[in-house]
Amino acid sequence: MNKILIVGLIGILSAWITIIISALINPWFSITHNALSDLGGGGPLNGHPYPTDPLVYNGGLIITSLIILIFSILIVNNSRNKLEIVGGSFFMISALFLALIGIYHEGTYPHNFVSLWFFILASISYIVISISLILTRIFLKIGIILLSLIILGWILFIIIPWQSVAEDEIFGISIIDICVILHGISFNKIH
């Protein structure tokens, strides 16, 4: 297993551990009724109780963003072409927006903006990376899978009548996780 994939897997684990621990210490939280960000802020004005220890969620997002930053730097430093550098750079910016979700938690003015743009920037990143992999031809299959996954993910996000924001956020996080894993695996191949 290569270091890029290892760091990617650590980032994935960090995100899920943050979400799970935060949900466990907030028994009122429901995947079918809340947004994940309810675990980090807001309160009765946002339609839920005040979260217990919101620093667990917000701090966990900031820690995860630092891991994503390291992952992105590894992508850029080990890139196979200039387009992959661009995609890795977009992923660095998405890491910044993930940190901003923790800083501008629910109940603050820029929260919705930074939350949405985290997903948009991560998607742009993997669209660019998928095209870079397709162009190398050695990684054609992984590139096609990544591109298809992002496009299908956004189509499903739009057409599925999600019961809650948390459900569509979990779906989006899962798509990003799969992209990170597949991209990390591509670094196992000789280039």
How far, rounded to the nearest angstrom, does the alpha carbon of residue 182 sit from its chain's CA centroid?
A: 14
Q: Is residue 147 part of a domain?
A: yes
- Report how many domains make up the chain: 1
> pTM higher than 0.75, yes or no?
yes
Q: Is 15 helix (H, G, I), strand (E, B) or coil?
A: helix
Q: Which two tokens stand for residue 157?
A: 């996000």
Phi, psi of 20 (to 5 degrees): -65, -50
Per-residue pLDDT of the chain (191 residues; tens, 9 = 90+): 799 999 999 999 999 999 999 999 999 999 999 999 999 999 998 889 999 999 999 999 999 999 999 999 999 999 999 999 999 999 999 999 999 999 999 999 999 999 999 999 999 999 999 999 999 888 999 999 999 999 999 999 999 999 999 999 999 999 999 999 999 999 986 54
Name, in order, each residue with C-beta under 8 angstroms of 3's C-beta and a sequence gap of 6 or more. Answer: 74
Whole-number Å distance between alpha carbons of 109 and 105: 9
Using CA atoms, how far apart are residues 34 and 47, in angstroms rounded to an integer? Answer: 9
Instruction: Give the model's pLDDT for residue 156.
Output: 97
Positive or negative torsion for Cα 141, 144, 146, 152:
negative
66 lies in some domain = yes
Residue 107 lies in a domain: yes
CB-count burial class (<10 Å; 0-12, 13-18, 19+) for 184: buried
Containing structural domain, residue 150? 3-186
Q: E strand or H helix at 95, and its extent?
A: helix 82-103
Considering the domain boundaries, does residue 191 fall inside one? no
Identify whether the C-beta of residue 38 lies closer than 8 Å to the C-beta of residue 27. no
